Amino acid sequence: MSATPDAVQLTRELLKFNTINPPGAEQACAQHLGELLKSAGFTVDYAEFAPTRTSLVAKLGGATGRRPLGFTGHIDTVPLGSAAWKTDAFGASMEGGKLYGRGSSDMKSGVAAFVIAAIKMARVLKNGPGVTLVITADEECGCGGAAHLVKQGVLLGEVGALVIGEPTANYPMVGHKGALWLDVTTRGITAHGSMPERGDNAIYKAAGAIQKLRDFDFATPSHTLMGNPTLNVGTVHGGLNINSVPDSTVIGVDIRTIPGQDHAMIHSSMQRLLGETVEITPTIDVGAIYSDPSQPWIQRVFDITQVHLKTRPHAKTATYFTDAAVLKEAYRDIPMVVLGPGEPQLAHQTDEYCKVDCIEQAVDIYTELIKDWSS
């Protein structure tokens, strides 16, 4: 194995793996990271939930009886979109202090930074509580890799706190909303468009359902940091051709929830509102995460990041969801923070980039978090 790369170089290496999801194909990227970590003394286990869909869990240390510090991140990316990129999306080109490529901010830079920080601290980790690195496949399409690890049940082990390396420009976030995505389907009877009285128009039914959804009442108090839950009708697909009465319509609903909300109760409330003839099918169902900002470890994270940010962080939450929404089923009742070098506003964008100095800064922050946990 060649010498360990720095985090910028490792990010460039990871960007050259096409892990667009779908289809994902994260296996080669996961193995690249696994070999690097094995060569540094980590125990590495792979978890494949489908052909070439591979996550990995790497561990070092843990002999003291204290739980290790956890880091997590995903290696799949979203598609490129229809707009042309000014650079090769897999070329990992650098220009003006920026590293370009699909996944540079979301979130291969974060994975590279915590992997390099852990390798740098390997000697310290061996004799302390250690770290567990959870690197997942299929986050972008509903946290499938993380869900497989939770269901598998053995590889994750325990951690005492969790850092999620998603893009925050290295500003610590203490939580994020949950996501409940639903396909709401109305059914009708098809007929010739010139004889609509012989059919039953599913689009008309969908229009009525959408009007009811606009006024959906979550009946829950606002969260101090996250505000209110939200509902957005994002897609409507109905009908086969203009001269037929449509017999089915599917409404895509995106609900973002706050801590304490029960997704099953939201589902049942919506079913009562729309009626039993409307079919409601969840496509993504992940809960919110939230750590009390006054929790001692969260305050230590604020202490450490303050030095680098030149200002004291105050409690904020991310707008997106992360694998932590699923991993919390295994890692119960621990503090979690979303903290990574990527630029949050560039996630999923054409010409996505990450600032090189943010990647290096993230390595320093993660290294100090490991030192602090190990002391």
Enzyme catalytic residues: 76, 139
Q: State how far the Cα of 341 lies from the Cα of 281, in Å rounded to an integer.
A: 35
CA distance between the termini of the chain: 31
Kindly report the backbone phi and psi dihedral angles of residue 39, in degrees, each rounded to the nearest multiple of 5, phi listed first.
-65, -20
Contact 199, 191 (CB under 8 A): yes
Q: State how far the Cα of 34 lies from the Cα of 70, in Å rounded to an integer.
A: 16
Q: State how far the Cα of 123 lies from the Cα of 126, in Å rounded to an integer.
A: 6
The strand pairing partners of 88, in sequence order, are none
Q: State how far the Cα of 72 lies from the Cα of 18, in Å rounded to an integer.
A: 20
Tokens representing 141 are 């399409």
Give the up-direction half-sphere exposure of residue 114: CA atoms within 13 A in the CB hemisphere: 32
Q: Give the Cβ contact number of residue 294 at 10 Å.
A: 8
Kindly report the backbone phi and psi dihedral angles of residue 31, in degrees, each rounded to the nearest multiple of 5, phi listed first.
-65, -35
Q: State how far the Cα of 293 lies from the Cα of 163, in Å rounded to an integer.
A: 14
